[in-house]
Structure 1
């Protein structure tokens, strides 16, 4: 049937017919597994703190906000620890002994950013009095290096945890589960 008002236009595109089976490229599978690992990293990686007798003194409010801070940092595309994690890491160190001025500036500036991000009104007023408005280039470089170091350590700890979990969940090939092991050592008479 021909329609007088319809015209078929040929743009010269030569397309191969689409195959019925679509194979997902390896880079797509890797991107999916990377996304899953990144998400697991944000949600379940351990919190890295300075090893000290004071490491249990980090306030619950800071610890509770680390997951959200990780997610916000991840959404911004940064491959480093959040500023909240820096506060949690540095806090036990501040109780040990006085720090050099650049590290004190970094710690107080990160604390101010934490207070602003999580709307802690009482803390913001106090932090504005002591925290610098901006960090020097040298302090920014120190902070970036610390954030990357914390990020690497927490991911390494997550990988070790995942490896340990998979080795525990898989019985070795030499072990075979026996019925007594499954149901106890009860004997029937």
Structure 2
């Protein structure tokens, strides 16, 4: 219950108003309050419930509620805590951005790609294309989350490498980030996220179009 005390009453009232009404979209002020909550490390499960109340798509609810997709490796513990937190923050930001554009995207964030690839980078040398993707993602994430050492402008100068443009890793990024996002959403669906809304829709349809229970055959029936 302590977590709920962080939620503004105005936001709760707005979400309750939107609950069950997918035609009502959140205002910009409501989205800003959601962003603020995410920055306070509110559990993603609670945020996902709030998105569901607000009428976000089932895909977005499942994408937020789902786990981090990590490469299966004995090196899984090399992923720093800040990176895991950044994955969820950036995932939430991406969801809100897509919502504002009335879109449902296909790709995960560069932060999630970096976290997924990090354990694999400790196991064996990667193919050049994926090595470039890993370095590009590292630069994007470290710059965005202020993890570069003081005085450094980018990650490339730290490793003595050349700058990598997105167009050179676009194909690999799209392939891997799409796979990550699909896996996250699928796992959340298996956990039951979104089923409550599906049941609510089924119940609403049953009221509008009740099942015919008469023993009289319908016109045109073969029996």
Shorter-chain TM-score tier: 0.5 to 0.7
Provide the residue aligned with 2:121 in structure 1: 94
- Give how far 1:111 is off: 0.8
SS at match of 1:162: coil
Residues 1:149 and 2:170 are matched in the alignment: no
TM-score of the aligned structures, taking structure 1 as reference length: 0.62
SS at match of 2:73: coil
RMSD: 3.1
Max radius of gyration: which structure? 1
Provide the residue aligned with 2:75 in structure 1: 54
- Can you give the 5+ residue segments of structure 2 that lack an aligned partner in the other structure? 1-20, 25-50, 99-104, 197-223
Provide the residue aligned with 2:188 in structure 1: 158
**1:49–1:132: structure 2 CA closer, same or farther, 3 Å change rule?**
farther
Q: In 2, distance between residues paired with 1:36 and 1:122?
A: 39
What pairs up with 1:1-189 in 2 under 5 angstroms?
28=23, 35=56, 37-77=58-98, 78-122=105-149, 125=152, 127-129=155-157, 130=159, 132-135=162-165, 137=167, 139-162=169-192
Q: Which runs of 4+ in 1 moved over 6 A?
A: none
Q: In 2, distance between residues paired with 1:123 and 1:160?
A: 44
- Can you give the 5+ residue segments of structure 1 that lack an aligned partner in the other structure? 1-25, 167-189
Provide the residue aligned with 1:174 in structure 2: none
Q: In 2, distance between residues paired with 1:100 and 1:66?
A: 24
SS at match of 1:122: coil
TM-score of the aligned structures, taking structure 2 as reference length: 0.53
